[in-house]
Amino acid sequence: MQRTKVADLLRSNEIGKTFTVKGWVRTRRGNKQVNFVALNDGSGINNLQIVVDMEQFDEALVRRITTGAAISVDGELQKSQGSGQNVELLAKTIEILGDSDPDKYPLQPKKHSLEFLREIAHLRFRTNTFGAIARVRHSMIFAVHEFFNKKGFYNIHTPIITASDAEGAGEMFQVTTLDLDKLPRTEDGKIDYSKDFFGKPTNLTVSGQLEGELAALAMSEIYTFGPTFRAENSNTSRHLSEFWMIEPEMAFYELKDNMDLAEEFLRYLIQYALENCKDDLEFLSQRQQQEEKGKKEADRAMELIEKLKFVLEDDFARVTYTEAIQILENSKPNKKNQFNYPVKGFGTDLQSEHERYLVEKHFKKPVILTDYPKEIKAFYMKLNDDNNTVRAMDVLFPQIGEIIGGSQREESYEKLTSRMAEMNIPEEEMWWFLDTRRYGSVPHSGFGLGFERLMLFVTGMTNIRDVIPFPRAPKSAEF
């Protein structure tokens, strides 16, 4: 018989009909007369209750239905006598597909800490929380492509392995096939990369932006959605060594168009989650509420779904860096010396505590900060007429901070090369990038959205290692 998914069966009202379900056992309980098995196959957050009439089954078989075991059940759908579910499956035949030794299976029918589950990340898909996160993650991936497809953007695959070290977005992972025990040397003792696989030093990409610009200056509107790698030794709940980034790049967009797109994009994704991930979000919300019980009232996060809706209600605040500095300088915590890093006028690099104050205390909604001093931003950002600030924009979200970083790009060949000279970026390595400014250069803009940061916000999880299936971080590459 054809297999029916648990989620479909739970929605079904074909009482009395026979179905086959396959999945993994969450719990079994009962007595000599009747047993109840909670079965999940990943199709949704809710389990199907299998009712096992003990008179119909061999006790030895039923004993093998342990937490974690895989089973196949043929049975009749019926209205549930219990109150926890509408329908249940009265088992007619049960087949054990895969046993699971209850003495050794690490997942117990009880609450586990997220830290423990990180140590058994190969099995954590089987928990409610990580099943929900995996489904939400899928929906968000799908929504990203849907959004851009609807708007006529083309998805571009940019390279994972690159030879350019130009963006300076952080430490890079080197890619090599050289034998590290016997490195070939040139006459002056340096490593001879002409012997390496690509004939020159190569790394894993830290951003697809530069290649994205090449595509945008022909295709008009493109986006990338791929893995990026940073070998930065950063050990926080907001950073990964391997993460997924979405980078749209648009010809003929100025900074305001860029901001409008970023805001529309984020709203679209959140709206999509609310409409398509209701069950999972409700579960994640309950989970979060449980977690928050131990905290002081002032430290508690807003209820998840309420928080998501709240972001949709209001336009994001848009302020320039200069205005933000003034707000911060005149803020209570600054005057009372409560910031660890006091704000001292133009040029101060904003710290996490400052961003959090702006978003969570002052504006109480997402904030887009623009026009930063050129000194603290990348070389490719368009210089403003004041010669002092660049057309950068950072979108700041409550709790997670910077979720998007972007800018209008410098389209002038002269200004770009002079900025590169100031920042000691070798022109000869960037000849291909500079060609876009030599031939048919136009105003253009783009931004990068850290996909896992979005996932943090949408799921209400607080550690980024919990919103990607197999997190990569310093000293951590298991599974």
Q: Which of 125, 142, 341, 432 binds RNA (CB under 7 A)?
A: 341
From edge to edge, which strands make up the β-sheet containing 174-175?
161-162, 202-204, 174-175
Nearest to 161 by CA among 234, 249, 229: 229
- CB of 111 vs RNA, minimal distance in Å: 3
Amino acid occupying residue 248? P
Contacting range for RNA; rule: CB under 7 A; set: 61-69, 147-155, 273-281, 294-302: 61-69
Q: How far is the CB of 438 from RNA (least distance, A)?
A: 25
Token readout for 186 is 């040139």
Helix then strand then coil, in percent of the chain rounded to 5, is 35, 25, 40
Assess 108 for contact with RNA (CB under 7 A): yes
Per CB under 7 A, 23 contacts RNA: no
Q: Are 50 and 91 in contact (CB under 8 A)?
A: yes
Task: Tell me if 51 contacts RNA by CB under 7 A.
Answer: yes
Distance in Å, CB of 109 to RNA, minimum: 4
Give how far Cα 110 sits from Cα of 25, 197, 274, Å: 14, 50, 28
Closer to RNA by CB, 277 or 454: give it.
454
Compare residues 31 and 424 and give the one whose CB is closer to RNA. 31
Nearer to RNA, 113 or 177 (CB): 113
Interface residue with RNA among 83, 177, 337, 387 (CB under 7 A) is 83
Selection from 147, 453, 462 nearest residue 304 by Cα: 462
- Contact region with RNA (CB under 7 A), list: 17-25, 26-34, 262-270, 315-323: 26-34
For RNA, give the closer residue by CB, 66 or 384.
66
Q: Taking a C-beta distance cutoff of 8 angstroms, is the pair 402, 349 a contact?
A: no
One of 113, 337, 387, 424 touching RNA (CB under 7 A): 113
Identify which range of 5-13, 25-33, 149-157, 437-445 contacts RNA by CB under 7 A: 25-33
List of residues 6+ apart from 346 with CB closer than 8 A: 322, 325, 373
Q: Which of 293, 358, 302 is nearest to 330 (CA)?
A: 358
- Smallest gap from Cβ 186 to RNA, in A, equals 30
Regarding 82 and contact with RNA (CB under 7 A), the answer is yes
Q: Cα 352 vs. chain centroid, distance in angstroms?
A: 20
Q: Which residues contact 180 (CB under 8 A, 6 or more apart)?
A: none
Nearer to RNA, 66 or 203 (CB): 66
Q: Is 453 in the site for RNA (CB under 7 A)?
A: yes
- Per-residue binder mask for RNA (CB under 7 A), 352-391, x = binder: xx----------------------x---------------
d(CA 29, CA 31): 7
Whose Cβ is closer to RNA: residue 10's or residue 193's? 10
Among 40, 66, 139, 202, interactor with RNA by CB under 7 A: 66
The count of residues in the chain is 479
Q: Does 422 bind RNA (CB under 7 A)?
A: no
Residue 476 interacts with RNA (CB under 7 A): yes or no = yes
Residue 112 interacts with RNA (CB under 7 A): yes or no: yes
The rounded distance, in Å, linking the Cα atoms of 411 and 445 is 10
Orientation angle between helical segments 304-313 and 255-276, nearest 10 degrees: 140
Encoded one letter per residue, x for contact with RNA by CB under 7 A and - for no contact, window 296-335 reads: ----------------------------------------
Pairing of strands 70-79, 87-98: antiparallel
Report 215-254 residues binding RNA (CB under 7 A). Answer: 230, 232-241, 243, 245
Q: Which of 226, 239, 112, 83 is nearest to 161 (CA)?
A: 226
Q: Report how many residues bind RNA under the rule CB under 7 A.
A: 72
